[in-house]
Amino acid sequence: MTASEADRTFAPGPDAAGLSEAEAARRLADTGPNEVTARKPVRLHRRVLAQLTDPLIMVLLAAVALTLAIGDHPDAIVIGAVVLVNTTVGVAQEIRADNAVAALSALTAPHARVRRDGVVRDLPAAAVVPGDVLLVGEGDVIAADAELVEASALLVDESMLTGESVPVDKEVGTALNGGTVVVRGRGVATVTATGAAGALGRIATLLDEEREPTPLQRRLAALGRVLAVVTLALCVLVFALGLVRGLPLGTMAVTAISLAVAAVPESLPAVVTLALALGARRMAARHALVRRLPAVETLGSVSVLATDKTGTLTRGRMVVERVWTPFGSVDPSGAEHEPPEVPPRGGGPVSADGLRPATELLTVTSLCNDATLRPPDDGASGGGGTALGDPMEVALLAAATAMGCPSKEELARTRPRIGEAPFDSLRRRMTTVHSAGGGRRVLVCLKGAPEAVLDPAVLSDPPDALAAARQEAARLAARGYRVLAVASGVRDDLPSPVTAAEAGLALLGLVALSDPPKPNAAATLASCRAAGITPVLITGDHPATARAVASRVALLGGSETDDRVLTGADVAAGRVADLTSVRVFARTDPQQKLDIVEAWRARGAVTAMTGDGVNDGPALHRADIGVAMGARGTEVARQAADLVLTDDELSTVVAAVEEGRRVYDNIRRFLVYGMAGGAAEVLVMLVGPFLGLPLPLRAGQILWINLLTHGLTGVAMGAEPASPGTMRRPPRPPDQHVLGGGAWQRLLVLAGVVTAGSLAAALGARALGRDWQSVLFLALLAAQLGAVLGLRSRLFTRKNPFLPLSVLASALLALAALYVPFLSSVLETVPLDGAGVGLAATCAPLGFLTARSVRTAYRGDGSAGASRTPELR
């Protein structure tokens, strides 16, 4: 029956006329439109200011001012370009993401049918007011919160609000929630709340809090502050030492400022931005759309994955998983379009006769069924057919098709329906009567809840058969299945009323339905555990259903975890002292999901939360990483999330975590490389004078080294592929410094060796009568270029050809500084002969070998010793 047909079936109630237009206009003025107000957009200047106030960017802005002060305009332009690109990319990513996700108000129904002045009107949902008489039918999105005053077989999908995988029967006097969908039947309701006062509005208020900085943003901010202080102190020290040695004030001022610029890895923001942008691009290719660029790295820090059930761990649709008959059990879920090979209870192949009781049962469920399956259109591009109706009845039709039963269209021709008693919440069963093919004989088909069907008043089967069926039904229900009992019988005439035929029927068997786990769900959770990520199930579904799914995906059963299934009521009542000891939560509301996420965060975990419903929005917003389902998720979930999965596959989250770890590894690898080089330059300037090298490097030479090492090669490091074993190691500790876990030890060792090798080359050149300053300049460059190749986790990989090409380009530009007259004049270098170049070139393999050795000298936790995982963590 269509929605318009449903309108004509309602008997007028006491409020049949509905509100008058004048009264509706007055209430609309009082309450405002029926819209969930979206958060105000962030102005462009605020976005730019947020980028520029990052501590590292502020250090770079200071470096621009300093280079301009000493007249070094080329370096000022380069550093300024880094700041400009970083700010532009960050702002553009935020704006693009905000434009890609619709506002909360887009979720509400675009139109609603209300009765005003006795006339049914089709209005925009925004015009609905409290007190309106709302008419709903199959397929309608409910426009506002309301109370039912009339209902006929009304079934509503509330999964977007509650997480309940099974649609809910609605009776007169029960509440309807705005944004939910009618899947069957019809109803009349009185609107009780609209806009911000409704269920969607109350959830929206939980999304108003500002986002906290990501772990990477916090770590880099702390690093920026430390760098600013240390750099200033070192430059003052170099300046003072120069003056003590009697060097000119102007010379030492320029040298100290140049050293300050060299000590700061100004390419770091560019490296971070490039690494994050490439990570976002790689994730998009793997069906994960990043809404906030810093979220790319945060994924690599995730230590807890809080997942919902429906559509994430499970398929998001009802499936018949078991058909039980007095003759055996059959699993029809093994095939969707062809009859499966089904093992009987005793094992071995099944004959056609052995399958007959199950096919007879499913044929009856196809007859006693109001759903329809539409095959794909001929020539349609992609996609299968569509299903309309109660998801449970759709599953019964799909199982019948898989078992080779006649189609519903064929049954409609051969066994036309001539009478029915629809399902209602009191009888808890549905009965249909069909022509038996000749004369007045009819076929009675019945399905319903086991307790309403397995009754001697309904069935004629002997008591022991009914007892066996009840025992099997209880066993299946305990395993989390939704169980239906099916019966049929033949009558000589059409009964009147139809319910009179609900006696003396024969039991055909039981049907067990569920929303089963996705085929790769268990393997995905196993991958999470291998990567040190703790999976937690948080759902609004029934505890038995949650337990059944959790058991099937091996989420329960570990000796180190609490195997209880905790409910939202338990969480609200504080019945468990430590929420992080429980792995499965059921019947949770939005606030309780927040409480669970906050409990993990208070323990120091970095949380990723997946969800698709409105009820998931607040937790998605509060978690360190919110992951929304793109295909079946609501707009609220997408707006609240940092990551949107276009394929709704949990395995995509694991792939995104790997990408996040790759990004973070590359950032840390650049920090070791860039800061070791900067530290080596500072040490050369400090130690050189004590070895008889009065002014080891001139300001221009320092800046040229910095440009080639931190610029070309440094940025190229951001595209390095993932290290071997990336997903076989635990996530880094959330409180670990960006240079923790042994990185600072590597940095100091590498800086010390590069410094020693470069100074040794300079002293050797002086002993041979060569220009020692030019040798020192070239040696520092060669050592750092060798180190950047030595730090690669995959030495001979072809996945990032830009890095070896950038090393080659930097080497050529280093030689150009000696042999191109213009550059040689500006940088105050002297062309070297073969011996001088050879002395400097020996530092390249020294830097390479040192970098290779420090990669394995420290474990990820910072303790010394050999490590089996050579990647830089």
Cα 397 vs. chain centroid, distance in angstroms? 33
Instruction: With H, G, I as helix, E, B as strand and everything else as coil, classify residue 445.
Output: strand
**What backbone torsions phi and psi does residue 55 show, to the nearest 5 degrees?**
-55, -40
The encoded tokens of residue 503 equal: 């006696």
Provide long-range contacts, Cβ within 8 A and 24+ apart, for 835-838.
Answer: 835/768, 835/770, 836/765, 836/768, 836/770, 836/771, 836/774, 836/775, 836/778, 837/778
DSSP string, 407-422: PHHHHHHHS-EEEEE-
Which DSSP symbol is given to 6?
Answer: H
Using DSSP's 3-state secondary structure scheme, residue 226 falls into: helix
Render 763-826 in DSSP notation, one character per residue.
Answer: HHHHHTTS-HHHHHHHHHHHHHHHHHHHT-SSTT-SS-THHHHHHHHHHHHHHHHHHSHHHHHH
Q: What is the largest CA-CA distance in the chain?
A: 122
Helix (H, G, I), strand (E, B) or coil at 190: strand
List all residues 6 or more positions away from 466 whose beta carbon is below 8 Å from its beta carbon.
Answer: 454, 456, 459, 507
Q: Which is it for strands 304-307 and 607-611: parallel, antiparallel or unpaired?
A: parallel
Dist. CA 327–CA 310, nearest whole Å:
33
Rg (CA), the chain: 35
Token duo for residue 325: 């008959």
Tokens linked to 194:
């609209």
Structure tokens at 149: 């005053």
Distance CA(795)–CA(783), nearest Å, equals 17
> Residue 293: what are its φ and ψ, rounded to 5°?
-55, -45
> Which candidate in 132, 308, 515, 642 is catalytic?
308
Rounded CA-CA distance 415/432 in Å is 11
Q: Is 308 a catalytic residue?
A: yes
Asked whether 214 and 624 are in contact (CB, 8 A), the reply is yes
Read off the DSSP letter of residue 695.
S
Helix%, strand%, coil% for the chain, nearest 5? 50, 15, 35
**Alpha helices in 191-342, H assignment, sequence order:** 199-204, 215-244, 249-263, 268-285, 295-301
Enumerate the active-site residues: 308
